[in-house]
Structure 1
Amino acid sequence: MTSLVAFALASLALVAVPGPNLVHIVTRSVQEGRRAGLVSALGVETGTLLHVLAAVGGLATLVADHPAALAALRYAGAGYLCHLGVRALRHHPSATAPEERPDRQRLLRVYGDAVLVNLLNPKVVLFFLAFLPQFLPTGLPPGQTRARMLVLGLVFLAIALTLDLGYALLGAALTGRLRGTPRRDRRLSRLTGGVHLGLAALVFL
């Protein structure tokens, strides 16, 4: 029980530190409204769940042990962030408020973008491989090791999702101040594009 509490506190501290996932959620929420921010949070944590399952199942270890696979993941992630950045720079905001056009197709794209932003980040693969085993007892059978890793991963997921949803709501609260006129909207689109291009560069650091 003590180790689980320690893990939860460590997870909270790590998730609270701004990173690519958090920045993506906030910028999406500010630019497109509360629903887009909340959907982005769900998408990011769907990616987290897939990372946890990959770590538990051993797939993440295979990727980490093959530099070519890790490099391919890194380039794919950077490329996708560049794609999001260029798309934002080319976006021409309409006068319609973001909450007035929550069409299903747009939200599905928002969700897919968030899943891929997280899933294609090689640093997340390495993070779970290094972080989860620190809170496991030594000498456990493989089956128990995988089961405990899964439990820890789900605890991390719950904490991350809670914080991400909070940041999405915070971003939405800023929408009214940062949007509202065509000039502001264009500036926000340029800022969003620049942020994603910057995140693409950070993938290689």
Structure 2
Amino acid sequence: MLIQFLAAAGVLAVLTMVPGPDMAVVTKRAVSAGWRDGLRTVGGITAGLLVWGVLTIAGLAAVLAASATAYTAVKLAGAAYLVFLGIQALLHSRRVRARETGALPDSPAGNPWRTGLVSNVFNPKIAVFYTGLLPTLAPTGLSPHTGMALLVLVHAALTAVWLGGYVLLLAKARVFFQKPAVRRTIDRVTGTVLIGFGLKVATTQP
């Protein structure tokens, strides 16, 4: 059972480290508002994973994964939110120059924890991942619910550690990232990436 658990944790670690919308959302928030907001965003993302974990164990995520209508509704809502965040980042890049002169305050809008939570809760791919892959990774020596719950907690912990460490690395180079030209570039890149992820989510099949 220990070997199965370690193998499952390894798979989850690899999947966690693959760049995706979560990393783009965290980058945008950490660079524009600092490491504290970045960590709060990570907390929201982690909470979103736990929400999906509870829904999966309760069987609701399986219903979503099996229902084309429900999947499409959540998918489009999530895609729209990612596109919204992307557009917000692009607009933010245009306001950086104005803030240099003091014409605009340097205070990003929105609660960072809620931003992370919403971006994950409206990601139907997690429902498919949890209902399709996690059951195959659960250790056979435990009950299905216990095994799934354990893997969800491991996934949430890995996500918090990985993205939290990423935020702290960004903080180490804060002086560099505070340069207006660099911030404009990062806003434009993350904005474009978020819009791209949003369009990809909108057009992806279950």
TM-score calculated relative to the size of structure 1? 0.84
How far, CA to CA, are the matches of 1:145 and 1:191 in structure 2? 42
Residue in 1 aligned with 2:189?
191
Residue in 1 aligned with 2:164?
165
**Distance change (3 Å), C-alpha of 1:115 and 1:4:** same
CA shift at 1:2, angstroms? Answer: 1.7
CA contact (8 A) 1:30 1:174 kept: no
**Distance change (3 Å), C-alpha of 1:155 and 1:185:** closer
Q: Counterpart of 2:187 in structure 1: which amino acid?
A: S
Q: Counterpart of 2:166 in structure 1: which amino acid?
A: Y
**Distance change (3 Å), C-alpha of 1:19 and 1:187:** closer
How far, CA to CA, are the matches of 2:124 and 2:144 in structure 1? 23
**Identity over the aligned pairs, expressed in percent?**
31
Q: Counterpart of 1:114 in structure 2: which amino acid?
A: G
How far, CA to CA, are the matches of 1:23 and 1:58 in structure 2? 30
CA contact (8 A) 1:25 1:168 kept: yes
Residue in 1 aligned with 2:133?
131
CA contact (8 A) 1:45 1:160 kept: yes
Residue in 1 aligned with 2:58?
57
Give yes or no for the alignment of 1:200 onto 2:186. no
SS at match of 2:111: helix
Number of equivalenced pairs: 195
CA shift at 1:125, angstroms? Answer: 0.9
CA shift at 1:28, angstroms? Answer: 2.0
SS at match of 2:133: helix
SS at match of 1:18: coil
Superimposed CA distance per residue, residues 4-28 of structure 1 (whole angstroms, 9 cap, x where no aligned partner): 1111111111111111112221232
- Flag structure 2 segments of 5+ consecutive residues without an equivalent: none
Residue in 1 aligned with 2:67?
66
CA contact (8 A) 1:49 1:157 kept: yes
CA contact (8 A) 2:21 2:197 kept: yes
Residue in 1 aligned with 2:114?
112
Q: Counterpart of 1:200 in structure 2: which amino acid?
A: G
Tell me which moved more, 2-11 or 68-77: 2-11
Superimposed CA distance per residue, residues 154-197 of structure 1 (whole angstroms, 9 cap, x where no aligned partner): 1221122111111111233344223323x444343333322221
Superimposed CA distance per residue, residues 119-151 of structure 1 (whole angstroms, 9 cap, x where no aligned partner): 1111111011112111236698xxx32122111
How far, CA to CA, are the matches of 2:155 and 2:182 in structure 1? 37
Residue in 2 aligned with 1:12?
13
Q: Counterpart of 1:189 in structure 2: which amino acid?
A: D
Q: Counterpart of 2:85 in structure 1: which amino acid?
A: L
Give yes or no for the alignment of 1:121 onto 2:119. no
- Flag structure 1 segments of 5+ consecutive residues without an equivalent: none
**Distance change (3 Å), C-alpha of 1:161 and 1:139:** closer
